[in-house]
């Protein structure tokens, strides 16, 4: 061998090895492989976006459904834990019906019998939940691909172009959701939408939280505070009755922090029986002030604390009542009943049929905006 050519050969081999390595996507801190989120649906490409701050917090988002796939935050010992449920590949999100982490649209929560009237026109929507329209219908935005518009280390903006008649909703709507990881370990979610025809819109994030970091545990020991003295009672099919009832003296009272499991099986209480636990809208006392805590959730096991801030008038608390052990999520963990709790900032359910409640109507020339902050910290006791 020509010794003068040896360094060149070694260099070429090293370069080849380097190139091969750089083509292999690195795993997220939560163990997700970006390659497992590459697919095509309806001619659009899906992907995984990894957001980070300088404190070590990491949030993974996929543009399929605009979903939060993982949130890694430190526990009281400083160990990073993934605190949301989900799947470790996009195919499961596509094939297994779920709302895990989704950006819900056009209308979060339920619309009675899938019907509403807006400016004299009657609309009939798909019925996918007890004869009602839930979360925008069976083909809501959580099952569609958002377009990635902007990506930085800390933030991603996703866009949904929803045509007139999408799930029978009126108007061509362009909606944006921006996920931002802040320096103080918060996930900020900002929504915007415009339309060319009067319509209704009510977006939310549907992350399933288990702050213990292990969804094999239930959330019954999680401590919950909700800044609300009233909630909106529902009938047997979970449509609001139109009343606003006081939480005092009921299992719905979280004005003083309580364990979620304390009264969750009070089947003698009509509302608990109807919801199979908590699946209700609380009327927030925050008056739209995003600097006032709307809700707080704490895991006594991990010491992780979640404070929720929003300008929305309502908060849907859903205690994972319909998880039933038939779905296997990340790390091969089977999701049992009450493996998580959702804290969905929103307008009230069925608002299009309740003129006395804050309106969800959006008209041409207007811009819908909504904001939610999930801020994480730890407690030592």
Catalytic residue among 188, 222, 344, 347: 344
pLDDT in tens, 102-146: 999 999 999 999 999 999 999 999 999 999 999 999 999 999 999
The residues, ordered by sequence, that sit 6+ positions from 339 with a Cβ below 8 Å of its Cβ are: 85, 208, 210, 215, 216, 217, 218, 219, 320, 323
Q: Identify the residue with better confidence: 7 or 233.
A: 233
Q: Measured between alpha carbons, how far apart are the two ends of the chain, in Å?
A: 69
Q: Which domains are assigned to the chain?
A: 34-378 (2.70.98.10)
Quote the CA–CA distance of 36 and 24 in Å, as a whole number. Answer: 12
The CA-based diameter of the chain, rounded to the nearest angstrom, is 89
Residue pLDDT, tens place only, 158-215: 999 999 999 999 999 999 999 999 999 999 999 999 999 999 999 999 999 999 999 9
The predicted-structure confidence for 295-322, as pLDDT tens digits, reads as follows: 999 999 999 999 999 999 999 999 999 9
- Predicted TM-score (pTM) of this structure: 0.93
Active site residue 119: no
Of the listed 206, 222, 280, 347, which one is catalytic? 206
Distance from C-alpha of 372 to C-alpha of 205, rounded to nearest angstrom: 8
pLDDT digits (tens, 9 = 90+) for 272-298: 999 999 999 999 999 999 999 999 999
Q: What is the per-residue pLDDT for 268?
A: 87
Q: Is 344 designated active site?
A: yes
55: buried, middle or exposed (CB in 10 Å: 19+, 13-18, 0-12)?
middle
């Amino acid at each position: 061998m020509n010794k003068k050519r040896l360094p060149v050969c070694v260099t070429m081999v090293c370069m080849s090895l380097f190139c091969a390595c750089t083509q292999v996507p690195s795993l997220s801190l939560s163990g997700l492989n970006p390659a497992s989120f590459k697919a095509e649906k309806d001619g659009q490409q899906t992907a995984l976006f990894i957001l980070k701050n300088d404190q070590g917090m990491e949030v993974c988002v996929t543009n399929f459904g605009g979903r939060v796939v993982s949130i890694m935050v430190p526990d009281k010992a400083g160990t990073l834990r993934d605190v949301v449920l989900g799947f470790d590949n996009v195919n499961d999100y596509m094939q297994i019906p779920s709302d895990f982490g989704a950006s819900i649209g056009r209308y979060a929560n339920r619309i009675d019998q899938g019907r509403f009237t807006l400016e004299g026109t009657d609309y009939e929507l798909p019925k996918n939940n007890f004869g009602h329209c839930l979360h925008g219908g069976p083909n809501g935005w959580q099952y569609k691909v958002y377009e990635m518009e902007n990506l930085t280390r800390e933030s991603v903006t996703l866009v949904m172009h929803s045509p007139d008649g999408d799930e029978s909703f009126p108007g061509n709507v362009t909606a944006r959701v921006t996920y931002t990881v802040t320096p103080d370990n918060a996930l900020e979610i900002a929504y915007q939408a415009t339309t060319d025809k009067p319509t209704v819109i009510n977006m939310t994030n549907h992350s399933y939280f288990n702050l213990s970091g292990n969804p094999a545990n239930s959330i019954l020991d999680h401590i919950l505070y909700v800044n609300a003295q009233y909630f909106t009672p529902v009938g047997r099919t979970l449509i609001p009755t139109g009343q606003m009832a006081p939480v005092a003296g009921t299992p719905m009272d979280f004005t003083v922090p309580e364990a979620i499991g304390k009264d969750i099986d009070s089947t003698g209480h009509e509302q608990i029986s109807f919801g199979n636990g908590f699946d209700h809208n609380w009327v927030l006392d925050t008056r739209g002030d995003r600097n006032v805590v709307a809700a707080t959730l704490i895991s006594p096991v991990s010491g992780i604390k979640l404070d929720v801030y929003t300008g929305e008038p309502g908060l849907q608390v859903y205690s994972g009542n319909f998880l039933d052990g038939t779905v296997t999520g990340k790390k091969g963990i089977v999701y049992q009943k009450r493996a998580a709790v959702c804290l969905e900032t929103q307008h009230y359910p069925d608002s299009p049929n309740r003129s006395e409640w804050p309106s969800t109507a959006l008209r041409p020339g207007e811009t819908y905006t909504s904001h939610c902050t999930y801020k994480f910290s730890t407690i030592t006791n």
